[in-house]
Amino acid sequence: MKYLYRSRTNKKIAGICAGFGEYFDLDPSIIRIVWLATVLLGGTGVLIYLICWLVIPLNTEQHVVTSFHPLTRSKDNRIIAGVCGGLGEYFQIDPVIFRLAFIVGVLALGMGILLYIILWIAVPSEK
């Protein structure tokens, strides 16, 4: 049986997002981005994070093996910070589509720059 734990090895604050990533076999960066969107768009993400911090126990194992392909910023396919190149590599589609989506987000919604900066900060660089 699988149990939901806070991660001890891949944590940024309390290990909540990494714990969800380990449980659902997803990249924790994707969970962090979705969580950050709930914080920015509605503000409920902070309250839910605090509740999870109190309710979900810390993992007692030192190392958990996961098989996900990590989301990283690309070093080879980059124009500014490699965010679109990394998204293209992760989802296996042309990064130009992500670049166009960010440009439309900037022009139409005004949130494209903020989202790009969030991804630049949240997604680690390729090793």
DSSP state of 84: H
Q: 58 falls in which pLDDT band (50, 70, 90)?
A: confident
Phi-psi region of 38 (alpha: psi -120 to 50; beta: other; left: phi over 0): alpha
- Output the pTM of the full model: 0.58
Q: For residue 23, give its domain range.
A: 1-68
Task: Give the residue from 114, 118, 98, 94 showing the smallest Cα distance to 106.
Answer: 114
Write down which residue in 68, 86, 116 finishes a domain: 68
Q: 66 falls in which pLDDT band (50, 70, 90)?
A: low
Please give the backbone phi and psi of residue 79, each rounded to the nearest 5 degrees, phi first.
Answer: -115, -50
Token pair listed for 103? 């440009």
Task: Give the residue from 21, 27, 12 showing the smallest Cα distance to 87.
Answer: 27
pLDDT tens, position by position, 85-120: 888 888 888 888 888 888 887 887 777 788 888 888
Please give the backbone phi and psi of residue 31, each rounded to the nearest 5 degrees, phi first.
Answer: -60, -40
**Residues 52 and 82 reside in one and the same domain:** no
How many domains would you assign to the chain? Answer: 2
pLDDT tens, position by position, 6-31: 887 777 788 888 888 888 888 888 88
Dihedral, 119, 35, 72, 102 alpha carbons, nearest 10 = -40
**Residues 79 and 52 reside in one and the same domain:** no
**Residues 60 and 85 reside in one and the same domain:** no
**Residues 8 and 63 reside in one and the same domain:** yes
**Residues 50 and 97 reside in one and the same domain:** no
**Residues 53 and 63 reside in one and the same domain:** yes
Q: What is the pLDDT of residue 68?
A: 65
Q: What is the pLDDT of residue 67?
A: 60
